[in-house]
């Protein structure tokens, strides 16, 4: 299965939730791949694997597509049952996908090969519009839209739906809408959540709005240390951080058990 979390607005927690979803599935024994379609390759940072992005210059996705390296040789192990691939230049890939039909065929074939090798293939996409994202949306079996619970987040939700419509991407592929950043102490998230419910009902006949993820600054602390919520090793965390990690495990486990692939 090929899937992604997406929003046209950056900074909504897309990569974080995608990475944790991949880590959760790997922790229960599923074989999972993360394809980083992002020049920053930020998904590696949350797993403490940033050095892996730069320690070799010959194992990017672009090298697979020029047949200078095999998929197996380009794979970067992240955790048990969890691997990843990195991208060097998303603009160059998009340009070649636009201009060269044989290149698009090879790109699609690469993703399909990964789909055969893994139970789940997560595609981490940038919020910007590009041909690479459009091709991958067409290949995705399921898309989860993640929406920040504020006015800008709701506007980003609108823009994402408009972008999909303009590009001819099937809205029926959107199975879930995930609100992010809920707080009982603030009125803005509650108002935004009501708007998201209305927009979803009016535009997405097959999508369900998931239970909102609460505000949790502590996940940023874990990411800075290269620790996933689902990592068993808590070395280096103080008692407070360990407790917050335990809470986050419960939050994300409930979320991912709700999502049906």
Q: How confident is the model at residue 202 (pLDDT cuts 50, 70, 90)?
A: very high
pLDDT digits (tens, 9 = 90+) for 111-125: 999 999 999 999 999
Segment among 37-41, 69-73, 143-147 with least mean pLDDT: 37-41
Domains by residue range for the chain, with CATH: 2-137 (3.40.50.300), 141-207 (no CATH)
Provide the b/e sequence for 181-217 (b: ≥16 CB within 10 Å): bbeeeeeebeebbebbeebbeebbeebebbebbebbe
**CA-CA distance, 84 to 147, in Å (whole number)?**
25
Please state the pTM of the whole predicted model.
0.94
The torsion of the CA quartet 218, 142, 138, 68, rounded to 10 degrees, works out to: 60
pLDDT, residue 183, reads 57
């Amino acid at each position: 299965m090929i899937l992604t979390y997406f929003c046209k607005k950056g900074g909504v927690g897309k990569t974080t939730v995608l990475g944790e979803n991949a880590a959760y599935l790997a922790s229960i024994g599923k074989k999972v791949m993360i394809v980083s379609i992002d020049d920053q390759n930020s998904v590696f940072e949350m797993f403490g694997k940033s050095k892996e992005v730069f320690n070799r210059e010959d194992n990017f996705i672009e090298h697979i597509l020029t047949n200078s390296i095999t998929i197996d040789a380009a794979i970067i192990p992240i955790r048990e049952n969890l691997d990843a691939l990195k991208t060097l230049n998303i603009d160059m890939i998009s340009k070649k996908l636009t201009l060269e039909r044989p290149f698009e065929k090879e790109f699609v074939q690469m993703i399909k090969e990964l789909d055969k090798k893994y139970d789940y293939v997560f595609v981490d996409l940038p919020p910007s519009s590009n041909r690479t994202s459009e091709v991958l949306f067409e290949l995705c079996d399921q898309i989860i839209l993640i929406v920040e619970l504020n006015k800008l987040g709701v506007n980003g939700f609108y823009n994402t739906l408009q972008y999909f419509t303009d590009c001819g991407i099937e809205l029926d592929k959107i199975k879930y809408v995930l609100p992010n950043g809920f707080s009982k102490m603030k009125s803005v998230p509650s108002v935004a959540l009501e708007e998201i419910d209305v927009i979803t009902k009016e535009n997405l006949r097959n999508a369900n709005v998931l239970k909102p993820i609460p505000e949790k600054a502590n996940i940023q602390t874990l990411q800075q240390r290269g620790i996933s919520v689902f990592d068993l090793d808590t070395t280096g965390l103080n008692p407070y951080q360990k407790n917050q990690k335990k809470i986050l495990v419960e939050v994300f486990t409930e979320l991912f058990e709700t999502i049906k692939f």
